[in-house]
Amino acid sequence: MEAATPEVQARVRDSFERQGLMHHLGARLAEIAPGRVHIVLPCRPEVTQQHGYFHAGATSAIADSAGGYAAYTLFPEDSSVLTVEYKINLLAPAEGDHLEAIGTVLRSGRTLTVCRLEVYGVQGANRSLVASGQQTLICVDKRPER
Protein backbone atom coordinates (compact mmCIF):
# COMPACT_ATOMS: atom_id res chain seq x y z
CA MET A 1 0.00 0.00 0.00
CA GLU A 2 1.46 3.35 -1.02
CA ALA A 3 1.65 6.01 1.68
CA ALA A 4 -0.16 9.31 1.40
CA THR A 5 1.97 12.38 0.75
CA PRO A 6 3.59 13.93 3.82
CA GLU A 7 1.20 16.91 3.52
CA VAL A 8 -1.90 14.68 3.52
CA GLN A 9 -0.53 12.58 6.38
CA ALA A 10 0.09 15.73 8.44
CA ARG A 11 -3.41 17.07 7.69
CA VAL A 12 -5.02 13.77 8.75
CA ARG A 13 -2.86 13.43 11.87
CA ASP A 14 -3.56 17.04 12.91
CA SER A 15 -7.31 16.48 12.57
CA PHE A 16 -7.18 13.12 14.36
CA GLU A 17 -5.29 14.67 17.29
CA ARG A 18 -8.16 17.15 17.75
CA GLN A 19 -10.72 14.35 18.17
CA GLY A 20 -11.53 14.10 21.85
CA LEU A 21 -13.30 10.75 21.50
CA MET A 22 -10.40 9.01 19.75
CA HIS A 23 -8.04 10.32 22.44
CA HIS A 24 -10.45 9.23 25.20
CA LEU A 25 -10.74 5.72 23.73
CA GLY A 26 -6.97 5.39 23.30
CA ALA A 27 -7.20 4.93 19.52
CA ARG A 28 -4.27 5.72 17.24
CA LEU A 29 -3.66 6.08 13.53
CA ALA A 30 -1.70 3.10 12.19
CA GLU A 31 -1.63 3.69 8.41
CA ILE A 32 -2.58 6.54 6.09
CA ALA A 33 -2.72 5.89 2.34
CA PRO A 34 -4.68 7.56 -0.45
CA GLY A 35 -8.27 6.43 0.12
CA ARG A 36 -7.39 4.07 2.99
CA VAL A 37 -6.82 4.57 6.72
CA HIS A 38 -6.20 2.09 9.57
CA ILE A 39 -7.00 2.92 13.20
CA VAL A 40 -5.94 0.68 16.10
CA LEU A 41 -7.71 0.48 19.46
CA PRO A 42 -5.90 -1.43 22.25
CA CYS A 43 -8.03 -3.50 24.60
CA ARG A 44 -8.50 -2.05 28.07
CA PRO A 45 -11.40 -2.15 30.53
CA GLU A 46 -12.66 1.32 29.58
CA VAL A 47 -13.61 0.20 26.04
CA THR A 48 -15.30 -3.10 26.95
CA GLN A 49 -18.85 -4.09 27.75
CA GLN A 50 -20.15 -6.28 30.57
CA HIS A 51 -18.96 -9.57 29.01
CA GLY A 52 -15.42 -8.32 28.43
CA TYR A 53 -15.76 -7.84 24.66
CA PHE A 54 -15.02 -4.50 23.01
CA HIS A 55 -18.13 -2.32 23.29
CA ALA A 56 -20.09 -1.84 20.05
CA GLY A 57 -19.86 1.93 20.56
CA ALA A 58 -16.04 1.80 20.55
CA THR A 59 -16.04 -0.56 17.58
CA SER A 60 -18.39 1.72 15.64
CA ALA A 61 -16.52 4.89 16.58
CA ILE A 62 -13.18 3.71 15.21
CA ALA A 63 -14.88 2.40 12.06
CA ASP A 64 -16.55 5.79 11.50
CA SER A 65 -13.26 7.65 11.98
CA ALA A 66 -11.30 5.26 9.73
CA GLY A 67 -13.77 5.80 6.90
CA GLY A 68 -13.91 9.53 7.46
CA TYR A 69 -10.16 9.90 7.31
CA ALA A 70 -9.89 7.58 4.30
CA ALA A 71 -12.21 9.97 2.46
CA TYR A 72 -10.36 13.00 3.82
CA THR A 73 -7.09 11.79 2.24
CA LEU A 74 -8.67 12.47 -1.17
CA PHE A 75 -10.32 15.80 -0.33
CA PRO A 76 -8.89 19.23 -1.28
CA GLU A 77 -6.64 20.92 1.27
CA ASP A 78 -9.16 23.68 2.06
CA SER A 79 -12.03 21.33 2.94
CA SER A 80 -13.28 19.27 5.84
CA VAL A 81 -15.13 15.98 6.22
CA LEU A 82 -18.39 15.07 7.94
CA THR A 83 -20.22 11.76 8.14
CA VAL A 84 -23.64 11.85 6.46
CA GLU A 85 -24.64 8.26 7.22
CA TYR A 86 -23.16 4.92 8.17
CA LYS A 87 -24.37 1.43 8.82
CA ILE A 88 -22.39 -1.24 10.58
CA ASN A 89 -23.06 -4.94 11.08
CA LEU A 90 -21.52 -6.54 14.15
CA LEU A 91 -20.54 -9.98 12.89
CA ALA A 92 -18.92 -11.53 15.97
CA PRO A 93 -17.99 -10.57 19.51
CA ALA A 94 -15.12 -8.10 19.24
CA GLU A 95 -12.21 -9.48 21.22
CA GLY A 96 -8.43 -9.62 21.12
CA ASP A 97 -5.38 -7.61 22.08
CA HIS A 98 -6.68 -4.79 19.93
CA LEU A 99 -9.13 -3.85 17.20
CA GLU A 100 -8.06 -2.61 13.79
CA ALA A 101 -10.53 -0.51 11.82
CA ILE A 102 -9.93 -0.06 8.10
CA GLY A 103 -11.73 2.57 6.07
CA THR A 104 -11.48 2.22 2.29
CA VAL A 105 -12.90 4.63 -0.28
CA LEU A 106 -15.18 2.85 -2.74
CA ARG A 107 -16.11 5.97 -4.70
CA SER A 108 -14.96 9.53 -4.23
CA GLY A 109 -17.26 12.13 -5.75
CA ARG A 110 -17.15 15.91 -5.88
CA THR A 111 -19.46 16.20 -2.86
CA LEU A 112 -20.22 12.71 -1.51
CA THR A 113 -17.80 9.84 -0.90
CA VAL A 114 -18.71 6.24 -0.06
CA CYS A 115 -16.42 4.04 2.05
CA ARG A 116 -16.26 0.41 3.10
CA LEU A 117 -15.71 -0.11 6.83
CA GLU A 118 -14.07 -3.21 8.31
CA VAL A 119 -13.09 -3.90 11.91
CA TYR A 120 -10.89 -6.84 12.89
CA GLY A 121 -10.23 -8.32 16.30
CA VAL A 122 -6.52 -9.07 16.52
CA GLN A 123 -4.99 -11.60 18.91
CA GLY A 124 -1.32 -12.16 18.20
CA ALA A 125 -1.04 -13.21 14.54
CA ASN A 126 -4.77 -14.04 14.26
CA ARG A 127 -7.19 -11.54 12.71
CA SER A 128 -10.94 -12.02 12.71
CA LEU A 129 -13.52 -9.80 11.00
CA VAL A 130 -15.88 -8.59 13.74
CA ALA A 131 -17.72 -5.74 11.99
CA SER A 132 -18.44 -4.59 8.44
CA GLY A 133 -20.24 -1.56 7.15
CA GLN A 134 -20.62 1.23 4.66
CA GLN A 135 -20.47 4.98 5.08
CA THR A 136 -21.32 8.15 3.17
CA LEU A 137 -19.32 11.31 3.82
CA ILE A 138 -19.58 14.87 2.60
CA CYS A 139 -16.74 17.13 1.53
CA VAL A 140 -17.38 20.55 3.04
CA ASP A 141 -15.63 22.78 0.52
CA LYS A 142 -13.79 25.98 1.44
CA ARG A 143 -13.96 25.12 5.14
CA PRO A 144 -10.58 23.86 6.31
CA GLU A 145 -10.44 21.88 9.55
CA ARG A 146 -7.70 24.00 11.13
**Given this model, what pLDDT does residue 45 score?**
97
At residue 144 the predicted structure's pLDDT band, cuts being 50, 70 and 90, is low
The pLDDT-based confidence of 142 (bands split at 50, 70, 90) is: confident
pLDDT in tens, 18-35: 999 999 999 999 999 999
Handedness of CA 88, 91, 92, 98 (dihedral sign): negative
Residue 3 CA, chain-centre distance (Å), reads: 16
Share of the chain above pLDDT 90, in %: 92
58 pLDDT exceeds 70?
Answer: yes
Region 89-101: what's the mean pLDDT?
98
The torsion region of residue 26 among left (phi > 0), alpha (psi -120 to 50) and beta comes to left
The SS3 of residue 132 is strand
Give me the pLDDT at residue 38, please.
98
Domains and CATH numbers, the chain: 6-140 (3.10.129.10)
Which residues, including other chains, have CB under 8 Å from residue 59's CB and lie 6 or more apart? Answer: 88, 90, 94, 99, 101, 119, 130, 131
* Whole-angstrom distance, CA of residue 106 vs CA of residue 45: 34
User: Does residue 87 carry a pLDDT above 90?
Assistant: yes
Residue 54 has pLDDT above 90, yes or no: yes
